[in-house]
Amino acid sequence: TGSVAIKNLFLKRGNLSFRNPEPIQVKMDDGRIRIQNFNLEGPQNSIQVKGQDFTVNDLNVNVVANTELRLYHMFFPFFDDMGGSVQTSATVSGSLFKPQILGSLSTNNSFVKIKGFPHPIERIQAEVNFSQTKVLINSVRAQMAGGLVNADGNITIKEYHDIPTSIRINLDSVSLNVPDKVKTSGSADLILSGKWFPFLLSGTYRISNGVFEKEFTEETGSGPTARQSVYLPKILRQSAFEPLIFDIQVLFERSFLVKNSMVEGAVQGNLQVKGTLGNPILLGRLQTDKNTKLTFKDKVFVVQNGTIQFNSTDEINPELYISANSRISDYDINLLVQGPAKNLRNIRLTSVPPLSDQDIVSLLALGVTSTRMDQTVGSRDQAAQTGYELGFAIFSQTVNKQFQDRLGLNVQFTSSFDSTRNISVPKVTVSRKVSTKVNASLTRALGNDNTNSEVKLQYLINQNYSAIGSYQDTSSLRSQGLTSGEARKENIFGLDLEFRKEFK
């Protein structure tokens, strides 16, 4: 028998706070307890507790709360952020040491942001019933990545580290960018299961369309280079907390586009995604489509046969087998690539008519064979020009990536052979894709006695036809036929209609 009065009760987490507007009264009369005025209020938050004539062995307590979802952030460390309002009501019965809880939870227009995942889950509407041993997720509806999310399932609460979970998740018409520069659109049927972290997210993701814009040499994750195997025992992976591990089958319903500095084309096949969000692993096999283009030493090769086999369980480093060819000058150059993508050493070049390896490399770099160079250019000039080409190739690889990432520009250093002067002329080309149908480029010759430049604008009418507008400005100093120091200038405008059809 007695009473307790709490005049001031103040709770705060971050910018969320609660305070009782009037004293809380707890009265006890011969073992029976009554709770009065247990109201905690704050900006857009309230918690109310009521209890009438209950004992420690026969509880009768009601809790009604209208709070910010951010208040529960401490229980979900794998979320970067969360927000929205949550309405909760619960009745507590039974005894103090063995309570019986029955309640419901609902939220409307909430959001959560998962660590390492670029797409927030927004406009969440959820209806949940719960007890002291079970959580029943009646329905969850939300929006993510431009699509819809639906989920339902149940969670059984047995004891610490033993919470059997089974939640069905459906994704409809989502457009994901995971990992960065790998864009996919499609639908998925997934299941979240397990008894404790990390939970397993398994199922099937059907991709209707997508594009791979990531460079093959880029790392997938931002973590350390030493990657843990997904098959290690859980106890060895607990030092780095991960809420989820994946086992998702990826089905391509149509060709998947690949577009980066090395490949432009499409692939087909099926993949399996395993690992974690920070350390994903791919398993499976992809086959290139016809008309896929491969860029090698600034020359475009048409892929005849190509397979990409993902076997490694430690990193994304596929085994490549690519057979391609290109027509350069009067020669058909064949390219065969075999080996792991990140340590590619087995590259074989052949030609028809046959050329030596040195001639093929010279043809790719300078546009002419070394034999022809020997006939037309002195050995000293040839060495200098070859040095320029090598320097340009190295410089191009470094600079081009920076320009492409920051400005969307593609910078290439190439050469063309000027038969009138018997020299190789270095050139720089800056191009950009203005839109899906418009390409623009500027090419300028390098050298003190040659300032030729050309501007091109290409409009793709359809798959086979394109209109090309060009402007050439030539200005060069000649010692033959002109007075020393006299410049010869020409301005040329052109408009071409190009028809292109590839035959196999």
Number of residues assigned to the chain: 504
Separate counts of helices (H) and strands (E) for the chain: 3, 30
Q: Give Cα 221 distance to the centre of its chain.
A: 10
Secondary structure class of 31 (helix, strand, coil): coil
Burial level of 340, CB count in 10 A (0-12/13-18/19+)? middle
Q: What is the DSSP string of 437-497?
A: SEEEEEEEE-STTB--EEEEEEEE-SSSEEEEEEEEEEEEE-SSSS-TT-EEEEEEEEEEE
Nearest to 270 by CA among 290, 255, 289, 258: 255
Q: What angle do CA 250, 253, 259 make, to 5 degrees?
A: 80
DSSP β-bridge partners for residue 141: 125, 150
> Which residues, other chains included, contact 98 with Cβ-Cβ below 8 Å and sequence gap of 6+?
none
C-alpha 165/C-alpha 193 separation (Å) is 5
Q: Which residues of 28-50 are buried (b: 16+ CB within 10 A; e: fewer)?
A: eeeeebebbbbbbebeebebebe
C-alpha 337/C-alpha 318 separation (Å) is 13
**CB-based contact 93:60 (threshold 8 Å):** yes
Neighbours of 110 (CB within 10 A): 20
Give the pLDDT confidence score for residue 491 in this predicted structure.
82
Secondary structure class of 243 (helix, strand, coil): coil
DSSP β-bridge partners for residue 340: 319
Nearest to 261 by CA among 305, 294, 221, 308: 294
Show the tokens assigned to 129: 């019933």
> Which residues, other chains included, contact 222 with Cβ-Cβ below 8 Å and sequence gap of 6+?
278
**Chunked mean pLDDT (size 10), the chain, 504 residues:** 93 89 94 95 93 94 95 87 96 95 97 93 98 97 98 96 97 93 95 96 97 76 48 52 92 92 91 89 92 87 94 87 92 93 86 91 78 55 53 55 69 69 74 88 74 87 89 64 53 88 62
Q: Give Cα 23 distance to the centre of its chain.
A: 54
C-alpha 151/C-alpha 164 separation (Å) is 17
**CB-based contact 321:304 (threshold 8 Å):** no
E strands, 145-279, are 147-156, 165-177, 182-194, 199-212, 244-252, 256-259, 263-275
Q: Would you tell me the crossing angle of helices 357-366 and 379-407 to the nearest 10 degrees?
A: 60
| Predicted structure pTM score | 0.73
C-alpha 76/C-alpha 37 separation (Å) is 31
The number of CA neighbours under 13 Å toward the Cβ of 285 is 4
Give the pLDDT confidence score for residue 481 in this predicted structure.
43
Burial level of 468, CB count in 10 A (0-12/13-18/19+)? middle
**CB-based contact 198:243 (threshold 8 Å):** yes
Give the pLDDT confidence score for residue 423 in this predicted structure.
64
Secondary structure class of 387 (helix, strand, coil): helix
Give the pLDDT confidence score for residue 235 in this predicted structure.
47
C-alpha 467/C-alpha 462 separation (Å) is 10
Question: CA 470 → CA 77, 85, 431, 493, distances in Å?
Answer: 58, 60, 14, 6
Question: CA 190 → CA 30, 43, 165, 279, distances in Å?
Answer: 55, 38, 13, 20
